[in-house]
Chains A and B, each alone.
Chain A
Amino acid sequence: MKLRKEMGLIMAERKIDPKVLQRINRVLKALFIAGTIFFILVPILLLFKISVSAPQDILTQHPPFLIKNFTWNHWKRVLAAGHIWVPLWKSVVVATSVALLGIMIAAPAAYVISRLPTGIKYGVLLAIFSTRMFPEVGIALPISVTFIRWGLVDTNFGLVLAHLIKVLPLMAWILTGTFDSIPKDLEQSALVDGCDKLQALVIVVLPLSLAGMAAASILCWLESWNEFTYAVYLCLADATLPLKTYYYVRRGNWFESAAYAVFLTIPVLIITFALQNYLKSDYLSGALKY
């Protein structure tokens, strides 16, 4: 405060026009925005650039910032070698099963949770969500030991189970918000009209919640698609796509890892953009408002 007063005095002495100050403020703001955009976009552009530049552009002591020698060779090689298809298929299968199974387990539970009395509801939600506090390496270790005994290591089913650990709390959290937005009166009038509980659920609540369920399952699909920790613990022979990318990184192969990374990112970016509206605060901080 004192500093501000002094600054004010100095300004008064020099008689700086407030309009000039405003302009300086605006310029600073624009610079900050430009800096942020630069900081966000440049890394992604560099990734694309590496996957399409010739080796002499990258493996030098002083790499150029712009694309000098353009080439599709890395992409052609990655696609022709065909090592990408098995992990890709595995990732797709696992992510899709996680999304479907997740909805089947989480949606009914979320409906019941959303119809609980308010106090108990937030208690239950907080308890479910606090499972995300446990370190993943701590959960993955016993899971891996148990799955080796059960013969579930390197199977899709084992990985789906492991991914559900991560996905279910998130799904229950989001879906409770969805069901909260469907008024209770609708079901009650259906009950008055002679439906039983199950019918009211299927005929009235289900159609209204489809959009929210779709959004939740897509988010969880992404979560599983990106997942790395459980995959490292549970995939020894056949890797998922993130794991395969990691192997190429370990080998120090820049171009392969760049191509794989781009491959991994494209569906995610598309979906994220398509789902902009659902990524808004309401879904993430649902329990903060009431």
Chain B
Amino acid sequence: MWTFRNGKFPVLSGSKLSKTKFDKVVKWVATLKILFKRYKLEMLMVLPLIIFILGFTLVPVLQCIYYSFQDPLTGAFPTLDNYRLIVGSRKFGDALKNTVLVTLIGLSLEMSVGMMVALLLTTKSRFRGIFRAITMIPMGVPTIVSGVIMLYIFSSNGYLNEFLYRIGVIKLPIDWAQGGLRTLFMVAIADMWKVTPLVIILLLSGLESIPSSIYEASAIDGATRFQNFFYITLPLIKPFFTIALIMRAIDAFRIFELPMVLAGRNTMFLGTYAYSEYFDYNNIHASGAASTILLLLIAAFVFGYIMMVGSREVEQ
């Protein structure tokens, strides 16, 4: 190692080891220089993307975290007041609970139905092509439109109530947006309608990557269908399942458009809560704090899941 002595230029302090290390650093810098010279064009090509991502994604995220720790009145930097304020409010507690619940409900619905449809799509049949095309339609429908559609279905004089009335299940219309678990189900089902195709695509690409020879071998060993599914299919598509689950979970935590359209101001989610803090109360600090908590929630889920399932699959 070298140290500053008497405020002079870095001077090597002694031993052999440090000298070789210093040489190494010099060599390293030299190679870097050569790399820069040789790959000037490449560097120039990557630069815009990197600058954009740094400036318009990383900096805003840091800014948002900064706002959340800033005092609303004095602007003093590290303070927990904003967090105290929102954690104490009932609205935020509800929003947090709703977000977590809707993610759980939505994910279990989407992954199970997506898996069933994907399995069906691998079996050979005449109608497979057209069935596949139909399952992909909702992916093309804009999220806001899917919200509008679901509004027609779930409103109190909507088609779901009419359907239930005609088959004789209910007498009086149900108000689906009234709050509580039924509103969460409404949002989860609206979300499911829109995004299950993505889950199907991801799982299908996993299923198609399994060579049929494995199933032939298991058939010789006399495996039943259930054994096939649990001991061959599931372990082999695990990486695809993980990717689908993580992508979906991230989007489900961030859910924004559907609650804006469907649930209005009665049932808040973290995204809509952050929005309303900014637009209704003009409080960027509380909004930033809510967003930061949302970010933490997502990060905790993703890393928790990867740690639990094992990071090997994801890296592949």
Q: Once the chains bind, are B45 and A112 in contact (CB under 8 Å)?
A: yes
Q: Which residues in B have their C-beta under 8 angstroms from that of A135?
A: 253-254, 270-271, 274, 291, 294-295, 298
| CB proximity to B under 8 Å, residues A200-235 | 222, 225-226, 228-229, 232-233
Q: Once the chains bind, are B274 and A288 in contact (CB under 8 Å)?
A: no
Measured in the bound complex, the distance between the Cα atoms of B40 and A198 in whole Å is 11
Q: Which residues in B have their C-beta under 8 angstroms from that of A43?
A: 146, 149-150, 153, 193
In angstroms, how far is the closest chain B Cβ from the Cβ of A83?
17
B275 at the interface (CB under 8 A from A): yes
A-B contact count (CB 8 A): 244
Measured in the bound complex, the distance between the Cα atoms of B204 and A285 in whole Å is 11
Q: Interface readout for B125-150 with A: 1 if CB under 8 Å, 0 if not?
A: 00100010111111111111111111
Q: Once the chains bind, are A65 and B162 in contact (CB under 8 Å)?
A: yes
Residue of A nearest to B260 (CB): A246
Given contacts A46-B153, A258-B148, A161 and B56 within 8 Å (CB-CB): yes
Given contacts A40-B138, A273-B140, A133 and B299 within 8 Å (CB-CB): yes
A105 at the interface (CB under 8 A from B): yes
| CB proximity to B under 8 Å, residues A97-149 | 104-106, 108-109, 111-113, 115, 122, 128, 131-139, 141-146
Q: Interface readout for A134-170 with B: 1 if CB under 8 Å, 0 if not?
A: 1111110111111000000000000001101100110
Measured in the bound complex, the distance between the Cα atoms of B137 and A268 in whole Å is 10
Given contacts A264-B145, A281-B204, A168 and B53 within 8 Å (CB-CB): yes
Measured in the bound complex, the distance between the Cα atoms of B142 and A261 in whole Å is 9
Measured in the bound complex, the distance between the Cα atoms of B67 and A168 in whole Å is 26
| A245 contact from B127, B144, B153, Cβ within 8 A | B144
| CB proximity to A under 8 Å, residues B48-74 | 48-50, 52-53, 56-61, 63-64, 67
In angstroms, how far is the closest chain A Cβ from the Cβ of B113?
8
Determine chain A's interface SS by DSSP, over half rule: helix
In angstroms, how far is the closest chain A Cβ from the Cβ of B65?
8
In angstroms, how far is the closest chain A Cβ from the Cβ of B191?
13
Q: Once the chains bind, are B60 and A225 in contact (CB under 8 Å)?
A: no
Q: How many residues of B contact A (CB 8 A)?
A: 90
| B61 contact from A50, A138, A233, Cβ within 8 A | A138
Interface residues of B (CB under 8 A from A): 41-42, 45-46, 48-50, 52-53, 56-61, 63-64, 67, 113, 116-117, 120, 127, 131, 133-153, 157-159, 162-163, 165, 173, 193, 198, 201-202, 204-205, 208-209, 224, 226, 239-240, 243, 250, 253-254, 256-257, 260-261, 270-271, 274-275, 278, 284, 287-288, 290-292, 294-295, 298-299, 302, 315-316
Sample 11 A-B pairs with CB under 8 A, ordered by A number: A4-B224, A46-B153, A63-B157, A109-B50, A111-B45, A136-B271, A138-B292, A146-B60, A232-B260, A261-B148, A269-B140
Interface residues of A (CB under 8 A from B): 1, 4, 29, 32-33, 36-37, 39-41, 43-44, 46-47, 50, 59-63, 65, 104-106, 108-109, 111-113, 115, 122, 128, 131-139, 141-146, 161-162, 164-165, 168-169, 172, 197-198, 222, 225-226, 228-229, 232-233, 242, 245-246, 249, 254, 257-258, 261, 264-265, 268-269, 271-273, 276, 279-282, 284-285, 288-290
